[in-house]
């Protein structure tokens, strides 16, 4: 598993395309890794040969989820994701959405969790326009970072 830059990942993507490997992309905050995340990432990886995970920078998370987040730093979140056997590459992004990564990499499969629909998935039209597909993976009921934070606060 490699924590990488966009320039390096573009080169990797070009080589994978040459080898006819199916590249899967997903993204998220992955603040407090839990069983729901692991299940989600395993499902995402099952759609192809290589899984690239985009992860929101700390600044991006604050804009989206508020000043109290993230709980864990970008470095820590990337390190934890990088340790998972199903994840091949991890890359961070500063924008609120991964559109720049999706436009640059044009994965074969774009995956998001069941709290999204095809119409709300950023980059879906780009992937489909290039012959790829979009997959929505069901969420594991009762497993979320917010629920963990709420349980800890109550304890």
Domain boundaries, the chain: 2-154
Q: How many Å apart are CA 128 and CA 31, to the nearest integer? A: 29
What pLDDT score was predicted for residue 45? 98
The tens place of each residue's pLDDT in the chain, 155 residues long, gives 588 899 999 999 999 999 999 999 999 999 988 888 999 999 999 999 999 999 999 999 999 999 989 999 999 999 999 999 999 999 999 999 999 999 999 999 999 998 889 999 999 999 999 999 999 998 766 666 666 656 656 77
Cβ–Cβ < 8 Å for 52, 86:
no
pTM, entire model = 0.91
Q: What is the DSSP letter of 5?
A: -
Tokens of 45: 């990886």
Q: Which residue has the tokens 């929505």?
A: 136
Cβ–Cβ < 8 Å for 15, 30:
no
Q: Which residues of 35-60 are buried (b: 16+ CB within 10 A; e: fewer)?
A: ebbebbbebbbebbebbbbbbbbbeb
Q: Under CATH, what is the fold of the domain 2-154?
A: Rossmann fold (3.40.50)
């Amino acid at each position: 598993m490699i924590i990488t830059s966009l320039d390096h990942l573009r080169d990797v993507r070009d080589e994978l395309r040459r080898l006819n490997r199916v590249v899967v992309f997903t993204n998220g905050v992955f603040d407090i890794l839990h069983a729901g995340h692991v299940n989600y990432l395993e499902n995402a990886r099952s759609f192809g040969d290589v899984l690239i995970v985009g992860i929101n920078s700390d600044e991006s998370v604050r804009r989206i989820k508020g000043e109290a987040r993230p709980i864990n730093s970008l470095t820590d979140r990337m390190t934890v994701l990088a340790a998972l056997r199903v994840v091949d590459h991890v890359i961070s992004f500063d924008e609120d959405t991964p559109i720049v990564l999706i436009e640059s990499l044009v994965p074969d499969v774009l995956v998001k969790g069941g709290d999204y629909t095809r119409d709300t998935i950023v980059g879906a039209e780009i992937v489909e326009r290039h012959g790829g597909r979009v997959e929505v993976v069901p969420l594991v009921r009762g497993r979320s970072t917010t629920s963990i934070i709420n349980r800890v606060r109550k304890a």
